[in-house]
Amino acid sequence: MSDSVSVEAAVRSHRPYLVNLAYQMLGDVGEAEDVAQEAFLRLSRVSQVDDVRAWLTVVAGRLCLDQMRSARARHEQPDESAALDVVPARDADPADRVTLDDEVHTALLEVLQRLSPGERVAFVLHDVFQMPFEEIAEAVGRPVGTCRQLARRARAKFSEASPRAADVTDVEHRIVAEKFIAACANGDLQSLTAVLDPTVWGVATFVGGGPPQINHGRDAVAPNLLRFLGHGLTLVTGPVGEILGFAGSALSVVLVLTVHEDLIIKIEATVDPSAANRD
Write the pLDDT tens digit of every residue in 139-176: 888 899 999 999 999 888 877 765 554 454 477 888 89
pLDDT for residue 239: 67
Q: Which residues of 92-107 are buried (b: 16+ CB within 10 A; e: fewer)?
A: eebbeebebeeebbeb
Q: One digit per residue, pLDDT tens: the chain, 279 residues?
A: 556 668 899 999 999 999 999 998 998 999 999 999 999 999 999 888 889 999 999 999 999 999 998 876 665 554 443 333 333 333 434 344 334 344 444 555 566 677 888 888 888 888 877 889 998 998 888 899 999 999 999 888 877 765 554 454 477 888 899 999 999 999 999 999 999 999 999 999 888 777 889 999 999 999 999 988 876 789 998 866 789 999 888 888 989 999 999 999 999 998 888 766 665
Q: What is the pLDDT of residue 179?
A: 94
The predicted pLDDT at position 114 comes to: 76
For residue 96, the model assigns a pLDDT of 42
pTM comes to: 0.77
Q: What is the pLDDT of residue 23?
A: 93
DSSP per-residue string spanning 43-87? HTT-S--S-HHHHHHHHHHHHHHHHHHHHHHTT----HHHHT--P
pLDDT of residue 164: 52
Sign of CA dihedral 53, 43, 55, 142: negative
Angle, CA of 199, 200 and 202, to the nearest 5°:
140
Tens-digit pLDDT profile for residues 74-86: 655 544 433 333 3
pLDDT value of residue 87? 36
